[in-house]
């Protein structure tokens, strides 16, 4: 009896036929996103969360299927999120989920008119990515001891991260088969399981050669079974993002760099910014970073301009740095008449 009561308490509240139909459309979209588009688990969870909010809102508006959806329902949903206290970034993310959902429904013939036509995405300032100065990046690299197996591994990971602009997930999951040391290339599986080939610089290749020849065999002997991962942990298993993040923070402390300024993504930013400052083509940088949209890569041009502006301020005779220096110098005494 108690078991039956417990089971009844666990049962979800009955779903209205109207909401059930929308939920079926959402489930079909999420299945398509997972199987056909190979979206990551985190992206799928975010879509599911935002679309659950959306369908609940539509039920209050007596909308039972995508064909009944109108622009006023979408704008009303965005206003509803704002009243609930969601910031512009969260509202913009929810609107992206709704847009993808509706586009999928249109391809399946569930709606004909685009209800999002003319709906503006909430605007929010895009913060410039954090970057390290070249001397700070070098100090971080020098903090890894190549004579220690773990330090040798860390140096190779840092060189590859900074020299190729990989995402940390791509770095820790890199298989031995993804390395082409003779051609100086790595083959990585990025977002959406899209494969790309990225060139590797000479310093990174040298660090990799040293690690693979001397450090990795030592770490591999500790493992209970073979692993195809390039980078191994102390236990001989594949490195994780969390493990590498902690190692990176320790190296930042050793290099005298504030820990909060250093992360795997910061090195990826440094890679892109230094390339653009060196005159690299924006499209080439986009390809190496694996960005689907060029606008994502363009943010590094703003970082580069900011650096140039700071250089002018401190180095140019007419820059603010010279003026401040003059202002702090005591005025010269007039010679006696």
User: Residue 26 falls within a domain, yes or no?
Assistant: yes
User: Residue 129 falls within a domain, yes or no?
Assistant: no
Q: Which residue numbers are catalytic?
A: 167, 191, 265, 268, 291, 300
Measure the CA–CA gap between 110 and 97, rounded to whole angstroms.
17
Structure tokens at 92: 């913009």
Same domain for 165 and 298, yes or no, is yes
Q: Which domain holds residue 98?
A: 15-107
Same domain for 191 and 306, yes or no, is yes
Percent of the chain at pLDDT > 70 equals: 76
Same domain for 74 and 138, yes or no, is no
Query: What's the whole-model pTM score?
Result: 0.57
Residue 81 contacts by C-beta under 8 Å, 6 or more apart in sequence?
53, 90, 91, 94
Same domain for 47 and 192, yes or no, is no
Same domain for 207 and 288, yes or no, is yes
Same domain for 157 and 207, yes or no, is yes
Residue 77: give its domain's CATH number.
Answer: 1.10.150
By C-alpha distance, which of 5, 23, 27, 6 is closest to 15? 23
pLDDT tens digits for range 117-166: 878 777 766 655 567 788 888 999 999 999 999 999 999 999 998 888 88
Same domain for 285 and 158, yes or no, is yes
User: Residue 41 falls within a domain, yes or no?
Assistant: yes
Largest pairwise CA distance in the chain: 112
Q: Compute the C-alpha angle 102/103/105, nearest 5°.
A: 60
Confidence of residue 231 (pLDDT cuts 50, 70, 90): very high
Same domain for 53 and 95, yes or no, is yes
User: Residue 7 falls within a domain, yes or no?
Assistant: no
Return the pLDDT at 322.
44
Same domain for 140 and 92, yes or no, is no
> Residues 255, 132: contact at Cβ < 8 Å?
no
Residue 164: give its domain's CATH number.
Answer: 1.10.443.10
Domain count, the chain: 2
């Amino acid at each position: 009896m108690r078991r039956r009561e417990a089971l009844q308490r666990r049962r979800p509240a009955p779903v209205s036929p109207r909401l059930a139909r929308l939920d079926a459309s959402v489930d079909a979209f999420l299945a398509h996103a997972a199987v056909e588009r190979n979206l990551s688990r985190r992206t799928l969870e975010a879509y599911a969360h935002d679309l659950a909010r959306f369908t609940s809102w539509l039920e209050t508006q007596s909308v039972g299927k995508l064909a009944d959806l109108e622009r006023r329902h979408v704008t009303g949903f965005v206003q509803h999120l704002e009243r609930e206290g969601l910031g512009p970034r969260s509202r913009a993310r929810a609107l992206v989920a709704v847009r993808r959902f509706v586009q999928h429904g249109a391809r399946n013939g569930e709606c004909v008119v685009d209800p999002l036509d003319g709906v503006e995405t909430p605007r929010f300032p895009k913060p410039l990515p954090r970057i390290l100065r070249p001397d700070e990046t070098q100090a971080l690299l020098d903090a890894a001891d190549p004579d220690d197996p773990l330090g040798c591994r860390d140096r190779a990971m840092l060189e590859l991260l900074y020299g190729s602009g990989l995402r940390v997930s791509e770095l820790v999951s890199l298989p031995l088969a993804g390395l082409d040391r003779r051609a100086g290339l790595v083959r990585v599986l990025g977002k959406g399981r899209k494969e790309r080939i990225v060139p590797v610089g000479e310093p990174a290749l040298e660090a990799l050669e040293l690690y693979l020849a001397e450090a990795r065999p030592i770490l591999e002997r500790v493992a209970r079974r073979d692993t195809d991962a390039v980078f191994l942990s102390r236990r001989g298993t594949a490195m994780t993002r969390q493990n590498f993040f902690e190692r990176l923070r320790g190296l930042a402390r050793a290099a005298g760099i504030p820990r909060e300024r250093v992360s795997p993504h910061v090195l990826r930013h440094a890679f892109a910014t230094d390339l653009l400052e060196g005159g690299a083509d924006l499209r080439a940088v986009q390809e190496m970073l694996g960005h689907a949209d060029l606008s994502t890569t363009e943010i590094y041009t703003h970082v580069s301009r900011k650096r140039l502006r700071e250089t002018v301020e401190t180095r140019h005779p007419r820059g603010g740095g010279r003026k401040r220096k003059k202002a702090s110098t005591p005025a010269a005494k007039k010679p006696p008449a």
